[in-house]
Amino acid sequence: MLFKVFPENALEILYDVLAPYPLVGPQAKGKDREDKDIFVFDYINSFAELRLDFPTTIHSVKKFLLPSRENLCTFNLFDGDWEKYVDFNIYKPHVFFGLHPCDINALNKLDKVLTGPVYPDPFYSSKRKNMFIIGVNCNPQSWCFCKSMGADTVYSGFDMFLTDLGDKYFVEILSATAYDILTQLPIADPSEADHRRFIELMDERNRNFVCQVDSSDLTKILDLEFQSPVWQEWGDRCMSCGSCASVCPTCYCYGVKEYVDLDLTTATKQRQLYSCNLIDFAMVAGGHNFRPDSPSRLKYRYYHKHRGFQEAYEEALCVGCGRCGQACLADITVPDVIDSVRRQKVPK
Amino acid sequence: MQKIRTYLGIEIKYPKTAFFELSSCEGCQLQILNKEATLLNFLDLVEIVNFREVMSNRSNDYEIAFVEGSVTRADEVTQLLEIRQQAKTLVALGSCACFGGVNQLKNRFQNLEWVKKEVYGNHPIETQEVRPLSDFVTVDFSIYGCPVKKEEVEEIVTNLVLGKSIEHPRYPVCMECTANGNICLFNLGEPCLGPVTRAGCDAWCPNNRMGCWGCRGPADDANLRQLQKIMDDHNIPRQAMFDRLECFGGFTSAMKEMDR
Ligand code: SF4
Ligand code: SF4
Ligand code: SF4
Ligand code: SF4
Ligand code: SF4
């Protein structure tokens, strides 16, 4: 990897160079009950809107790759015949300015499934190939457990990665495009002092992780505790609302539906992101539901993420961003659920 | 005479369709006439033989009947039974028809005579306890909402004409709300019935930063016990929650299990 530094005030130059492209980044959208800023990823229209100091966002950047609803194709219907039109719904390369390590790791996980050799998803892949990603280091929040999931640092899946050293930015460069762009900034090689500062900052960041998940032997423990009563307790709380999957940067499940237009001459095939917690997720033709009760559905979510995916890819389908727990009105959080399985006790 | 039309080479009939209203604000019928961009195509999908809000023709020869409104008078019961006799498919249009709607709020009062006096004074008027259509006749399917969502009506009517099955989302509004990228209203300190209300409106109210009032009734297996806990945890007074749950009548039976 190549490392450079550039002065703090050159960030705006970087923004200006990239501004001609559709640029997505963290921005403040409203205040919460404690009058703190709430952040989301959205299109940025001015440098002032871009808030790289954001703690976290409510939603991930998933909607730009896997929109909650996406038209897969449209049809023209004729007398006894039809024509099909496919559009991957990406017209320009997008810049993603300010993704935390967890969110870049989440994209790397999605890639394993959606760009993999078996069933590559052209809609996802075409958007993914047209991303220019600038990562940025974060300060762990009280609910972040990315460290437990091995997702607190990121080694691939971005073009450049920024760490704020105070008066300058430390950049990790991973692509030729990123290097070319950076040559338009006053970049320099990091000094010995910059190395020290970077390592100190990383140590400090490490010390700030307070939330943890003990994932040792987790696949085995989940196998052993398939019938555990804790699933019943969590399921009784769950409202089967799917918010956890909506905000999750790694959930990718969807359903497909066809809509015929009112004039009966055109039709659309649309996919809609779904959640395994929704009541009809496992409902099949004829109406049989393999997971009709909410405890079995909630359990399934955990078994997919921390057992099935782990066994298939040797990593969990979770980066520990904690968004699901923050979004869940029933206070169902990954650390609490996994801890309860280990201890057989559900916190009230 | 209407032209012959086909869908993928198969001839599709124009079903004779009638619209009726019982006690209601007629807002759902008005919704159907909204959205000019698709109105002509919509009106072309079926052969409308009865629709008081748009035309003066009347006919009692129809296959599909859309009935808006709740039952509040004896003559409405008679009218509803007649419609049921004629229609092959009877559709409850909107929350009044499905659950009683806003009208059923008066059922909360023990003494309906007193209510009548308060509202109408000495006018001679007949009004009884408010009931949804399904208390009197078999309803083939319901279109929820106060008012109904035009896009949803369009999809349902298209499927009806094509003979496709009619499905409603079984999950709650939260799914649509979070999918739309909204910030949850509970985060902002406002109550919302999204966690228990059937989706399908695309989170209409939360998208516009208003908490859901549950106009589409309960989602499948709605978890009202947990809703109560969420309201408590967010310091929302119980009464504020019950006011919402009672507003459209969809939660009447589900609420019986909640403690006041
Ligand atoms: S775990 Fe929470 S967010 Fe997920 S479906 Fe259940 S109640 Fe909704
Ligand atoms: S399961 Fe929860 S913590 Fe894990 S990646 Fe998804 S939202 Fe983040
Ligand atoms: S099965 Fe559930 S947990 Fe797994 S990706 Fe799908 S929605 Fe997410
Ligand atoms: S605002 Fe309402 S509908 Fe949206 S997520 Fe929150 S509770 Fe659910
Ligand atoms: S958000 Fe709730 S009250 Fe508003 S339209 Fe939808 S179901 Fe009705």
- Residue range B132-163, pLDDT digits in tens: 999 999 999 999 999 999 999 999 999 999 99
Half-sphere exposure of A191 (CA within 13 A, CB side): 7
The pair phi, psi for residue A61, each rounded to 5°, is -85, 10
What is the residue type of B238? Answer: R
What is the residue type of A65? Answer: L
**Ligand 3 centroid, distance to A197 Cα (angstroms):** 40
Q: Do B222 and A239 touch (CB under 8 A)?
A: yes
Residue nearest to atom 7 of ligand 2 (CA): A248
Asked if residues B186 and B195 have their Cβ atoms less than 8 Å apart, the reply is no
**A337 Cβ inside 6 Å of ligand 2:** no
pLDDT of residue A157: 96
Asked if residues A175 and A133 have their Cβ atoms less than 8 Å apart, the reply is no
**Residue A107: which of A139, A70, A151 has the closest Cα?**
A151
User: At residue B211, does pLDDT exceed 70?
Assistant: yes
Instruction: State the DSSP H helix or E strand holding residue A188, giving kind and residue range, or none if neither.
Output: none
Q: What angle do CA A209, A210, A214 make, to 5 degrees?
A: 95
Rounded to 10°, the helix A334-343/A230-237 angle is 150
Cα–Cα distances in angstroms (integers) from residue A104 to residues A153, A163, A245, in the given order: 9, 15, 17
B159, B161, B221 ranked by CB distance to A240: nearest: B221
- Residue range A212-258, pLDDT digits in tens: 999 999 999 999 999 999 999 999 999 999 999 999 999 999 999 99
User: At residue A301, does pLDDT exceed 70?
Assistant: yes
List all residues of chain A from 67 to 106 with a beta carbon under 8 Å from chain B. Answer: 68-69, 77, 79-82
pLDDT of residue A230: 97
Taking the mean position of all CA atoms in its chain, how far away is CA A106?
5
Q: In the structure, what pLDDT confidence band is assigned to residue A2 with cuts at 50, 70 and 90?
A: very high
- Residue range B164-203, pLDDT digits in tens: 999 999 999 999 999 999 999 998 889 999 999 999 999 9
Asked if residues A335 and A302 have their Cβ atoms less than 8 Å apart, the reply is no
- Residue range B222-239, pLDDT digits in tens: 999 999 999 999 999 999
Residues in B closer than 8 angstroms to A327, CB to CB, are 178, 184
Q: Among B157, B178, B220, B228, pick the best mutation site for testing chain A contact (most A Cβ within 10 A).
A: B178
Q: Do B219 and A279 touch (CB under 8 A)?
A: yes
**Ligand 5 centroid, distance to B234 Cα (angstroms):** 21
pLDDT of residue B158: 95
A24 CB near a chain B CB, below 8 Å? no
Half-sphere exposure of A180 (CA within 13 A, CB side): 5
Asked if residues B73 and B127 have their Cβ atoms less than 8 Å apart, the reply is yes
> What mean pLDDT do residues A199-210 have?
96
Strands (E), chain A: 2-7, 23-31, 37-43, 69-78, 81-86, 94-99, 131-136, 160-164, 168-173, 254-260, 266-273
pLDDT of residue A166: 93
**Ligand 5 centroid, distance to B100 Cα (angstroms):** 16
Tokens of B74: 């004896």
A253 CB near a chain B CB, below 8 Å? no
User: At residue B259, does pLDDT exceed 80?
Assistant: no
Largest CA distance in chain B: 62
Distance from CA of B210 to the nearest CA of A (A): 15
d(CA A76, CA A61): 33
Q: Among B46, B165, B175, B212, pick the best mutation site for testing chain A contact (most A Cβ within 10 A).
A: B175
d(CA B97, CA B109): 20
Report how many helices (DSSP H) and strands (DSSP E) chain B contains, helices first. Answer: 11, 7
- Residue range B50-106, pLDDT digits in tens: 898 888 888 899 999 999 999 999 999 999 999 999 999 999 999 999 999 999 999
Q: What angle do CA B205, A40, A301 make, to 5 degrees?
A: 80
DSSP A46: S
User: At residue A121, does pLDDT exceed 90?
Assistant: yes
B154 CB near a chain A CB, below 8 Å? yes
Q: What angle do CA A228, A251, A302 make, to 5 degrees?
A: 10
> What is the location of CATH 3.40.50.700 in chain B?
5-162
pLDDT of residue B2: 62
**Residue B223: which of B259, B186, B197 has the closest Cα?**
B197
**B215 Cβ inside 6 Å of ligand 5:** yes
Taking the mean position of all CA atoms in its chain, how far away is CA B211?
18
- Residue range A249-272, pLDDT digits in tens: 999 999 999 999 998 999 999 999
Q: What superfamily in CATH does domain B5-162 come from?
A: NADH:ubiquinone oxidoreductase-like, 20kDa subunit (3.40.50.700)
- Residue range B108-137, pLDDT digits in tens: 888 888 888 888 888 888 889 999 999 999
Asked if residues A61 and A24 have their Cβ atoms less than 8 Å apart, the reply is yes
pLDDT of residue A33: 83
* pLDDT above 70 as % of chain A: 100
User: At residue B257, does pLDDT exceed 80?
Assistant: no
A33, A242, A260 ranked by CB distance to B175: nearest: A242
pLDDT of residue A345: 86
**A249 Cβ inside 6 Å of ligand 2:** yes
d(CA A87, CA A66): 14
> Where are chain A's structural domains?
2-66+75-207, 218-343
Give the three-class secondary structure for B6.
Answer: strand
